[in-house]
Amino acid sequence: MSMREKPLADSRKTFWVSVGMIFSFCLLIDYVVAFGLRMIDFLLEHKDELMELPDGTAKDLAVSYLTSPIETVSFALGLELYQYAQLILLGIFAYTTFQTWRKLKPHTVEDASEYGGLGSASLSDEVAIFDEIDITDDRKEEGTVLAVYNDKLMIHKEDSFLNRHVCVIGGSGSGKTKCYILNNVVNTKNKSIVVSDPKGEIYELTSREKREQGYEVYLINFSNMALSDMYNSIDYVGLDQDAEKFATTLVLGGEEGQQSGDSFLAGTSGFVDYCGYSICARKPAERTAFNGICIQLIDRTFRKRIEESVCKFRGGIVR
């Protein structure tokens, strides 16, 4: 007998012993009620003769009733009050038996997902896994490739009501990339994909196939910029105001911790301005860009003055 079967057998034995004790107690109460009703019936029937009865008659009669249970119960069955008592005792027996069963029944884990009392998450069975509304095994269907179950491919449909969050946990070399990531990169054909690929293996294994699927594949390699695709951040700058905003943002973003002084920052800003201007239809001369540098230097000079300074106040008006 296993460890799990032993407690189950013990609980059943305890239950039946308890039921036997409850039944015996109810029988005892039933007989006491029958005896009491028979004694009361005798006393009511001979109430006028009680004083004339010999001493010890009631005692002998009680002993006779107690030692003749069949006659006593048969007599009580003819009384309406005893019949009501039988129903009450039957209800008490049923209730106590049910409560005993509840306390001694083997513990089972309830599925809280049916009513959400303890949360709605639960493990899926085969019927839920291959629900045609959410999951398909059609390789042509685009969606999230989850796993293979009983030689069937599990693809989570894009129009499924279920959320698409996936958590894959495994040690190094356990097959996370091979079994999950590569399959989903290849199976995704109509959406943009961003992949964090520190080792470069995903790019190496899937880039050619993605290009054949019509994708434009770019590689950003910060370790070796010679092998990386480039991004021109001022390629979208078309207006003079846009170029100035971009230059200011770039310089202010790198201002913290700079040790080279304002001239370097202003020069960088002016150079970016000039680069931005050079891609526009109207290309200003170098003198225009130099004037922009001077204006920024003047701006920084007045900015350092205290708020009450007259020169800063005047400079603010001029600027």
The verdict on 11 and 42 lying in the same domain is: yes
Based on the domain organization, do 155 and 222 belong to the same domain? Answer: yes
One domain for residues 99 and 131: no
Q: Is residue 232 part of a domain?
A: no
pLDDT for position 310: 47
Neighbours of 140 (CB within 10 A): 7
The pLDDT confidence band at residue 271, using thresholds 50, 70 and 90, is low
Higher pLDDT among residues 276 and 173, named by residue: 173
- Let me know whether 9 and 96 are in one domain: yes
**Residue 246 and residue 304 in one domain:** yes
**DSSP code string of the chain:** --TTHHHHHHHHHHHHHHHHHHHHHHHHHHHHHHHHHHHHHHHHHTGGGGGGSPTTHHHHHHHHHHT-HHHHHHHHHTSHHHHHHHHHHHHHHHHHHHHHHHHHSPP----GGGTTBTBS-----HHHHT-TTTEE--TTS-EEEEEEETTEEEEEETT-SS---------TTSSHIIIIIHHHHHH--SS------SSSHHHHHHHHHHHHTT-------SS-GGGS----TTTT--SHHHHHHHHHHHHHHT-TT--S-HHHHHHHHHHHHHHHHHTSSS---HHHHHHHHHHHHHHHHHHTS-TT-HHHHHHHHH-
Q: How many domains does the chain contain in total?
A: 3
Q: Is residue 118 domain-resident?
A: no
Residue 27: pLDDT band (50, 70, 90) is: confident
Query: What residue type is assigned to position 247 of the chain?
Result: A
116 inside domain:
no
Q: Which of 7-11, 82-86, 214-218 has the lowest mean pLDDT?
A: 7-11
The bridge status of strand 135-136 relative to strand 152-157 is: antiparallel
Which two tokens mark 117? 């009392």
Q: Which of 117-131, 156-170, 203-217 has the lowest mean pLDDT?
A: 117-131
- Phi, psi (5° rounding) for residue 28? -65, -45
CA distance 149 to 121: 21
pLDDT at position 312: 41
Claim to verify: residue 194 and residue 260 sit in the same structural domain:
no
Domain boundary among 53, 74, 104: 104
Q: Which residue has the higher pLDDT, 202 or 45?
A: 202
307 within a domain of the structure (yes/no): yes
Residue 109 placed within a domain: no
Find the domain containing 28 and state its range: 5-104
Whether 119 is in a domain gets the answer: no
When mean pLDDT is compared across 137-146, 147-156, 175-184, 273-282, the lowest value belongs to 273-282
Of the three residues 204, 227, 250, the one that is the final residue of a domain is 227
Q: Are residues 156 and 247 in the same domain?
A: no
Residue 113 lies in a domain: no
